[in-house]
Structure 1
Amino acid sequence: MCTIAPNERKGWGRAKMVDFPVAKNPGQGRAAGPLAWLVARAAALYAGLRAAIVDAVTQRRNFILFPFAMIAGLIAYRVLPDEPALTSLAVLLGIALVAAWTGRDRALVRETALLAAMFAVGMVLLPVHAALFGTPMLEAPRYGTYTARIEAVTYDDGSQQRWILSDIAGTPDWTVPEIRMARVTVPGSYTVSPGDTLTARIRFYPVPPPAVPGGYDSQFISHFDGIGAYGTAFGDIEIEQGGEGGLARIVKDVRATITARIVAQLGERIGGIAAALVTGDQSRITEEDRELMASAGIAHVIAISGLHLTLVAGTMFACVRFLLSLSHGLAQRFPIKKIAAGAGIATALAYMVISGMVIPAVRSTIMLALIFAAIIAGRQALTMRNVAIAGLAIIVFEPTSVFRASFQLSFAAVIALISAFELARRHREDREHPQRGRALALMLDIATTSVIAGLATLVFSAYHFQQTAPFGVLGNLMVMPIVTFVMMPAALLGTLLLPIGLEALPYAALGWSIEAMLWCAGFVRDLSGGFDPSPILSPLALGVALLALAWLAYFRTRMRVIGPIAAVPLIAFFCLEQAPDIFIADQSQALAVRSGDRVALIAGRNNTFATTIWSERYITVIEDAHPAAGCDSRGCILTTEDGYTIALVKSRDAFDEDCRIADIVVTRLTAPPQCAVAATLVINASDLARHGAHMIDWNGPDLPPTIRTAIDGPSRRWRIQTQ
């Protein structure tokens, strides 16, 4: 049992460890009865939790909770139904800061107030970010001839490109969208750089909302990134080279040159994957290869992240240190380990720039810079505090990244791996382990790392991608030695030798390693037979996973594993969703209905954006046309096997009859008021315009249907306001 000795100066004081009384005989508690045994177990658990809290506090691990508190604030702001007043947010932040200052002499009050302040900062971050970088959202399509500045090229597959445009101007003035930037798709291939100016005919249109409840929200992300519209360019496009964007232009040209040299040597397929590893350009990777690697649980290999930065910077660190150690004089005069760490930082920064400075690369570079800086300062490198610092930096400068899969996956994996490292280190300090062969140790480390990272990211992968890759451990076990010892060192060496034209041999080894990786992925996929038992998770599952990660990161003792273990039944019992009975698209005519075991369209076309997202999100096959639906020019009627009737009304003449015979009425028109009185549920044009796509569950004749909408908070600043 733990007690805390009072200490007026420190507040928390020192933790005194007192033995908690337990039965000497393991079966003694059970002999006294199940209730007594449960009470004893609960008391022991409470004592262990109390001791773990005291240990964490005395080790000053409350700082580790700061990014989690900020994330909680971001989530709280995100889920509010209406936009909060800035004065309210300012008052909330002020109260938390004053409480932290006034309670600075009492540790418990101070730490609680600081966590509350971090929560308040999280709530304020997005409004501040919107004021600095946000944009109004285009409400209706615009078409005309425009002149704009090219800020970036975000996609290029050789047949089309996507550009980010700013300073948009045109005539007449009323056709010019009043937005900061727009993302425009351009057919063909152009040699452009940031700072160039284009003149072209462009059709701008509003940024689309999510296609499913809880799906990827383009409007939310685009608003805070300053992108207020999407667009498509037509006809002849005039490009005028600008004199600005010096560094950006150089970086773009370097990336384009490296990509072209790699593809020229290795071909479109293998070269496309190699270019993704070096420059981050994934536009040449085919969907077949993406699905192949995803099925084997190795899709993370082609997305530049902490794995790639660590391997490249770590390889440079090891090579520089080894080469310097060959000279006895240098090793005696200079701190070669610190010099090698400096080279690792420089390599990580260069790789981050060449890879396009995507968020995962930036996040990983910050983390690596902290690790190498700790080596230079003579401090311990792998600590949870460094993870917290990196998290705080990313959250402050890119708060919307918290809602993206890449942030969630990478930080979950890093937190789990460092937690395992801390537990293993404490275990090694307590016991002596026999020496194992290096090859066996390597295989065990890869398998252990794969299992830990896979379990840590399981919820996020299942939610965002509907993939769990149960054979991912085998896939990583086969592929990671290739990636670690051949692929990334070859990519690094080839890129370093590219300026002098000696990259052929390293890039050839890179190509061989990619072919070996694809073969391993094919072997794992064939072995699994397509088995992937992915659940359909609700957004609440992400909140439970966040709490489990905070618990895992905060504690140092074995008590830390209780959080992730407890998250499993919570998600299993409270966070699972089922595929809806009715799917209604907001921006197309698609309407799909479940009748018995089949889901089929009664309106609209299949294989569109909406139906594809529905199939992927809910792991459901949507058939082309429902055979039991009766349709004519006025609408469609379907009586399902579950006993309810749904009507799709296309003509105003059909409202009177269909509203009387149908339980659920769907229309793209404005339904008359009497229709809502006759039918159980009516979804009309205003509902679809305000709340987006609708997913409906039929709960029987005695309970109202459950409705889930894609647009939450239709009045928020990032939503397109409707009349």
Structure 2
Amino acid sequence: MLACEGALAGKYPVLLGATMGLAVMAAAGCATIWTKSALAGVQPLPGRMVTTVLGRIVDRQVQPAHERVRLVLDARIDGVDRAARVRINLLQKLDAPDYREGAVIRVKARLMPPAGPMLPGAYDFARTAWFRGWAATGSALGRPTLVKSSRGGGTMRALQHALSRHVRAHLGGTPGAIAAAFASGDRGGIRKADEDAMRDAGLTHLLSISGLHVSAVIAAAYFLTVRLLALWPALALRVRLPLVAAGAGAVTGIFYTLLTGAQVPTVRSCIGAVLVLGALALGRDPLSMRLVAAAALFVMAFWPEAVAGPSFQLSFAAVIAIVALHSSAPMKAFAAPREEGPVRRLARGAAVLLATGVVIELVLMPIGLFHFHRAGVYGALANVIAIPLTTFVSMPLIAVALVLDLAHIGAPVWWLAGQSLDLLIAIARFTASRPGAVTLMPAMGGAAFALFVGGGLWLALWSGRVRLAGLVPIGLGVAGLAFVKPPDVLVTGDGRNVAIAGAGHDLFILREGRSSYTRDNLKEMAGRAGEPAPVAGSPGARCSPDFCSVTIRRGGRNWHLLMARSRYRVDALALAAACERADIVIADRWLPSSCRPRWIKADRRFLERAGGLSIDLESRRVTSVASQQGRHGWERLGGQRTYIKRPTTRPAPTATDVKPASANVP
């Protein structure tokens, strides 16, 4: 082996060094994430409970759009023999000014362990809660009792809340909520409909404090410092003003990052901006991949779990795309300064901005499809107007209004800021409402996503013609998307919610609950945009109050599903006969052993082991949540495997095969 290493080092020293470097970095990455998991993670509560919680508030988020306040408590829980950190939703009408960070409260609450993915490929809240140290989430069942008031009041979080309230007091509705998000990072007041419009228009990044906002704040601080100090000739002749301005910009950026909550995208942007200031002060090129690598290394060292999340991937992918594009020879040649009139200069700048937006949209689309199963199409066009509007109009107006409010004369500027934000919302709504504005597709496989990531990194990190080789894996990934088809049947982990893909873009669900979260998850995983219809109205369906029988034709044969709608007792013989004639039986309760369908018996006992299901009838493939989990602390189903036999062929059941035994209803 040593001889092989010596030969490799002699012929290909760069390859050997790169291989060893990758191995060391992979080992360091694994050690970092395991260490963070061991330090931050806590075991969740064993199950649901209604109990009394006594705890100190460590975080408070006001969400007027949802009429609630979210409190994170370091708490003692009745019936639990250990301290735990929990997140509790409190109705806004039950809130009080005394419930702020540092206060101790007692409240009766309904608690549950953090939920894992509802369906295969869906959002894993349990992982997020694990790294935040939350053992449970829940809702308050009444007004909390204040046990001890908070002595704090000058904390950064208190300043953030005060600033958010001040902004919303001067601007109402969604403009006020967006202005509060720009000023303090508080997005709790933005209505869901407007947030969805911003997302579908490709403008969500404007609501999250990231590179655009941090760069604008630091640039403003830099520009103002240089201009104001330049008015003092004696100082300008003796001090290097760009260096002083860089320091002022760095301090301003760090303060703004802390004020807005120091989220991962904000921290990444702040680090990158500070490095740019340092490069400018030293006379170095500020736009380089080394800057991106330094920021990524810092984030991964302290928040390694962020790498698997969409926020890290979207923000760094966008920055890498910008650096790679503007470092390329064609873009440098096109954007280089030259002698030309103002109209041509403005047109050239608009073309550069449009090209940057198109490249960013193309880079972010696979990430959006992988995590959210949707991606905006017209985002590049919307951003050409929205980014300058936000950077040069809305944010400066908000800053000026806040300064003028010190003298109580900011009302006219607040009105102007509101008009600019109304225009931003109108752009989002118009773009999102265009036909084909959103691309929807079922869950993308990990292999296709890896092809996109690998090809994109190759394009970004290499230079010259060799970088074009990155188009090969990207092309394979695009080709793979053509073969992605939506699942025929989706079953949530509790067995209560079932979605069946019909012909065309139809989607039928078993229960029409009040929860939009469940309905949205079913629509996203099925790649359907329209509102789902009841199963009872689907072709081939026959329903009684207790069961629904549905016949679906896939792969040249009929598939027969039997789904429970109630928990009333039914005749055991009738149920056994119906199960025998069904391919798949789904129920949110335990079914007797006499119920033996031809293929899958997804009752409560089965789903507790397997979790949610995604079923492809044509390929006869079943994917469960458990099959996608490992043995991490937050994965309650990890390591469990459920073996499913191949389906056979028998006659179909009907809804009338199962009749409620009304006399025996408990």
* TM-score category (smaller protein): 0.7 to 0.9
1:163 is aligned to 71
Give a deviation string over 1:580-601, Cα, whole Å, max 9, x none. 1112122351223234444323
Range with greater deviation from structure 2 (630-639 or 403-412): 630-639
1:683 to 602, 625, 629: 602
Deviations 1:34-90 (A, max 9, x none): xxxxxxxxxxxxxxxxxxxx9xxxxxxxxxxxxxxxxxxxxxxxxxxxxxxxxxxxx
Q: Match for 1:115 among 22, 25, 30? A: 22
In the TM superposition, what is the alpha-carbon distance from 1:569 to its structure 2 partner?
3.3
**From 501, 518, 533, the counterpart of 1:594:** 501
> Matched residue of 1:533: which SS?
strand
1:398 lines up with 2:303 in the alignment = yes
**In 1, are the aligned partners of 2:613 and 2:622 still within 8 Å (CA)?**
no
Q: Distance in 2 between matches of 1:525 and 1:592?
A: 26
Q: What's the offset of the Cα at 1:687?
A: 2.7
| Aligned equivalents of 2:220, 2:542: Cα separation in 1 | 66
Q: C-alpha offsets along residues 320-364 of structure 1, whole Å, 9 cap, x if unaligned?
A: 223333444433311111111111111111111221222211121
Verify: 1:213 aligned to 2:120, yes or no.
yes
1:345 aligns with 2:242: no
Question: Is 2:489 aligned against 1:489?
Answer: no
Do the aligned partners of residues 218 and 524 (structure 1) sit closer, same or farther apart at CA in structure 2, a change above 3 Å counting?
Answer: closer
Shift of 1:436: 5.7
Residue number in structure 2 paired with 1:698: 617
CA distance in 2, matches of 1:383, 1:516: 34
Equivalent in the alignment of 1:94: none
Structure 2 unmatched runs, 5+: 1-5, 641-666
Match of residue 635 from structure 2: 719
* 1:356 alignment partner, SS class: coil
1:601-616 matched pairs, under 5 angstroms: 601-603=509-511, 605=513, 608-616=516-524
Q: Cα offset for 1:309?
A: 0.6
Q: Aligned-pair distance for 1:495? A: 3.7
Q: Distance in 1 between matches of 2:535 and 2:381?
A: 41
Q: Distance in 2 between matches of 1:215 and 1:324?
A: 53
What SS does the aligned partner of 2:187 have? coil
Question: Residue 346 of structure 2 corresponds to which residue in structure 1?
Answer: 439
Aligned length: 613
Summarize the Cα distance change of 1:112–1:657 in structure 2 as closer, same or farther, 3 Å threshold: same
1:662 alignment counterpart? 582
Q: Distance in 1 between matches of 2:325 and 2:129?
A: 37
Counterpart residue number, 1:235: 142
Task: After superposing the two structures, state which structure 1 stretch, 326-335 or 389-398, moved more.
Answer: 326-335
User: Is 2:297 the counterpart of 1:388?
Assistant: no
Tell me the amino acid that sits aligned with residue 533 of structure 2.
E
| Higher mean displacement: 647-656 or 683-692 | 647-656
Contact persistence 2:64–2:189 (CA under 8 A): yes
Distance change in 2, residues 1:274/1:432 (3 Å): closer
Structure-2 separation of matches of 1:721 and 1:681: 19
User: Whole-Å Cα distance in 2 between the matches of residues 281 and 207 of structure 1?
Assistant: 24
Task: Give the counterpart letter for 1:182 in structure 2.
Answer: V
Cα offset, 1:618, TM superposition: 2.5
1:543-602, Cα deviation, whole Å (9 max, x unpaired): 223212321332133433432564143233258532211121223512232344443234
* 8 Å contact kept, 1:209–1:710: no
Alignment of 1:411-490 (within 5 A): 411-424=316-329, 427-428=332-333, 435=340, 437=342, 438-490=345-397
Q: Distance in 1 between matches of 2:514 and 2:163?
A: 40
Corresponding residue to 1:646 among 561, 586, 590: 561
How far, CA to CA, are the matches of 2:329 and 2:81 in structure 1? 57
Higher RCO (CA-CA < 8 Å; seq separation 6+): 1
Secondary structure (helix, strand or coil) at the match of 2:360 reads helix
Following the alignment from structure 2 to structure 1, what is the Cα–Cα distance between the partners of residues 197 and 507?
27
- Distance in structure 2 (CA, Å) of the matches to 1:557 and 1:668: 58
Within 2, Cα distance between the matches of 1:432 and 1:487? Answer: 28
Q: Is 2:440–2:524's contact at 8 Å kept on the other side of the alignment?
A: no
State the 1:483 CA deviation.
1.6
Name the residue aligned to 1:534: 440
Distance 1:575 1:347 in 2: 48
Whole-Å separation in 2 of the counterparts to 1:632 and 1:178:
47
Native 8 Å contact 1:292 1:521 kept in 2: yes
Deviation of residue 604 (structure 1)? Answer: 5.9
**How do 1:322-401 and structure 2 match up within 5 A?**
322-401=227-306
CA RMSD in angstroms, aligned pairs only: 3.0
Shift of 1:489: 2.0
CA distance 1:521–1:318, change in 2 (3 Å) = same
TM-score normalised by length of structure 2? 0.84
Q: Measured at CA, do residues 517 and 593 of structure 1 come closer, stay the same or move farther in structure 2, by a change above 3 Å?
A: closer
Q: Equivalent residue for 1:131?
A: 38
Q: Distance in 1 between matches of 2:31 and 2:291?
A: 24
